[in-house]
A and B are shown apart, each in its own frame.
Chain A
Amino acid sequence: MRFGVVVFPGSNCDADCYHVIKDVLQEEVDYIWHKESQLGAYDAIILPGGFSYGDYLRTGAIARFSPIMPAVIDFANRGGLVIGICNGFQILLEAGLLPGAMLRNQSLKFICDTAYLKVKRNDTPFTNQLAAGQLMKVPIAHGEGNYYCDEATLEELRRNNQILFTYSNAAGEDSPDFNPNGSIANIAGIINKEGNVLGMMPHPERCSEEVLGGTDGVNIFVSMVKSFQEVIQRCKN
Chain B
Amino acid sequence: MQELNYREMGLLDEEYEKIKEIMGREPNYLELSIWAVMWSEHCGYKNSRPLLKTFPTEGPRVIQGPGENAGIVDIGDGQALVFKIESHNHPSAIEPYQGAATGVGGIVRDIFTMGARPIASLNSLRFGNIEDARVRELFAGVVAGIGDYGNCLGIPTVGGEVYFNPSYQGNPLVNAMCVGLVNSDEIALAVASDVGSPLMLVGAKTGRDGIHGATFASEELSEKSQQKRPSVQVGDPFMEKLLIEACLQLIKEDLVAGMQDLGAAGLTSSISESASKKGRGVEIDVLKVPRREKGMTPYEIMISESQERMLIVPRAGKEKRIKEIFDTWGLDAVVIGQVTDDGMFRVFEGKKMVGEVPNAELTAGCPVYVRAGQEPSYYQECKRFDIDALPEIKIGEALQKLLGSPNIASKRWVYSQYDYQVMTNTSIIPGNGDAAVLRIKGTDKGVAMTTDCNSRFVYLDPYQGGMLAVCESARNLACVGARPLALTNCLNFGNPEKTHIYWQMQESIKGMAAAAKNLNTPVVSGNVSLYNETAAGAIYPTPVVGMVGLLPDIKHRVDMSFKDEGDIVVLLGRLRDELGGSEYLAVCHGVESGAVPVVDLDEEKKLIELSLELIGKDMLKSCHDISEGGLAVALAESAIKGNIGFKVNIEGQKGRADKTLFSEAPGRVAVSLERDKLPELTAMANNKEIEVHVIGQVEGSNICINKGNQHINMAVCDAAKIWGEAIECHMK
A contacts B directly (C-beta below 8 A): yes
Give which listed residue, B236, B417, B439, B555, contacts A109 with CB less than 8 A: B417
Query: A9 touching B154 by the CB < 8 A rule?
Result: no
B554 lies within 8 A of chain A by Cβ: yes
- Residues of B within 8 Å of A143, CB to CB, are 148, 151
Give which listed residue, B237, B417, B554, contacts A110 with CB less than 8 A: B417
- Residues of A within 8 Å of B425, CB to CB, are 212
- Residues of B within 8 Å of A16, CB to CB, are 422-424
- Residues of B within 8 Å of A139, CB to CB, are 421
Scoring A49, A111, A213 by chain B CB atoms within 10 A of each residue's CB, the highest score goes to: A213
CA of A139 to CA of B24 in the docked complex: distance in angstroms? 64
Q: Which B residues from 396 to 422 make CB contacts under 8 A with A?
A: 415-422
CA of A12 to CA of B119 in the docked complex: distance in angstroms? 12
Query: A110 touching B148 by the CB < 8 A rule?
Result: yes
Interface stretch (choices A68-76, A184-192, A203-211, A228-236): A203-211
Q: Which B residues from 216 to 242 make CB contacts under 8 A with A?
A: 236-239, 241-242
Give which listed residue, B239, B328, B422, B427, contacts A141 with CB less than 8 A: B422
Chain A 34-55, CB within 8 Å of chain B: the 1/0 string?
A: 0100000000000001110111
Q: Which A residues from 1 to 20 make CB contacts under 8 A with B?
A: 9-10, 12-13, 15-16, 19-20
Query: A112 touching B152 by the CB < 8 A rule?
Result: no
Interface size class of A (residues with CB under 8 A): 20 to 34
Distance between B252 CB and nearest chain A CB, rounded to angstroms = 14
Distance between A171 CB and nearest chain B CB, rounded to angstroms = 15
CB-based nearest B residue for A20: B424
Query: B427 touching A113 by the CB < 8 A rule?
Result: no
A211-B330 contact given A51-B237, A56-B238, A111-B416, CB 8 Å threshold: no
Give which listed residue, B144, B152, B330, B427, contacts A51 with CB less than 8 A: B152
- Residues of A within 8 Å of B429, CB to CB, are 213
- Residues of B within 8 Å of A111, CB to CB, are 416-417
CA of A203 to CA of B241 in the docked complex: distance in angstroms? 21
- Residues of A within 8 Å of B239, CB to CB, are 54
A19-B329 contact given A10-B152, A51-B238, A110-B147, CB 8 Å threshold: no
B441 lies within 8 A of chain A by Cβ: yes
CB-based nearest A residue for B151: A110
Chain B 237-277, CB within 8 Å of chain A: the 1/0 string?
A: 11101100000000000000000000000000000000000
- Residues of B within 8 Å of A113, CB to CB, are 416
B64 lies within 8 A of chain A by Cβ: no
Q: Main SS of chain A's interface residues?
A: mixed
Chain B 109-122, CB within 8 Å of chain A: the 1/0 string?
A: 00000000000000
Q: Which B residues from 403 to 461 make CB contacts under 8 A with A?
A: 415-427, 429, 439, 441
Query: A10 touching B238 by the CB < 8 A rule?
Result: yes
Distance between B577 CB and nearest chain A CB, rounded to angstroms = 38
B153 lies within 8 A of chain A by Cβ: yes
A50-B554 contact given A139-B421, A205-B424, A211-B427, CB 8 Å threshold: no
- Residues of A within 8 Å of B329, CB to CB, are 9
Query: B421 touching A206 by the CB < 8 A rule?
Result: yes
- Residues of A within 8 Å of B555, CB to CB, are 211
Query: A112 touching B419 by the CB < 8 A rule?
Result: yes
Scoring A19, A35, A51 by chain B CB atoms within 10 A of each residue's CB, the highest score goes to: A51
Give which listed residue, A33, A203, A211, contacts B421 with CB less than 8 A: A203
Distance between B28 CB and nearest chain A CB, rounded to angstroms = 40
Query: A55 touching B424 by the CB < 8 A rule?
Result: no
Distance between B560 CB and nearest chain A CB, rounded to angstroms = 15
Give which listed residue, B144, B238, B415, B439, contacts A112 with CB less than 8 A: B415
CB-based nearest B residue for A48: B154
Q: Which A residues from 70 to 109 make CB contacts under 8 A with B?
A: 109
CA of A212 to CA of B238 in the docked complex: distance in angstroms? 27
CB-based nearest A residue for B439: A211
CB-based nearest B residue for A141: B419
Query: A13 touching B427 by the CB < 8 A rule?
Result: no
A12-B241 contact given A51-B151, A141-B422, A206-B424, CB 8 Å threshold: yes
Query: B242 touching A9 by the CB < 8 A rule?
Result: yes
CA of A143 to CA of B148 in the docked complex: distance in angstroms? 9
CB-based nearest A residue for B424: A16
- Residues of A within 8 Å of B421, CB to CB, are 112, 139, 141, 203, 206, 212
Distance between B524 CB and nearest chain A CB, rounded to angstroms = 27
- Residues of B within 8 Å of A9, CB to CB, are 238, 241-242, 329-330
Query: B151 touching A141 by the CB < 8 A rule?
Result: yes
Query: A112 touching B424 by the CB < 8 A rule?
Result: no
A13-B154 contact given A56-B238, A211-B427, A212-B427, CB 8 Å threshold: yes
CB-based nearest B residue for A50: B154
**Would you mind naming 7 contact pairs between A and B with Cβ atoms under 8 Å apart?**
A9-B241, A20-B424, A53-B238, A112-B415, A113-B416, A141-B421, A143-B148
Known contacts A9-B329, A141-B422; 16 further A-B pairs (Cβ under 8 A): A9-B241, A9-B330, A12-B154, A53-B238, A54-B239, A55-B152, A56-B238, A109-B144, A109-B416, A110-B419, A141-B151, A212-B421, A212-B425, A212-B426, A212-B427, A213-B427
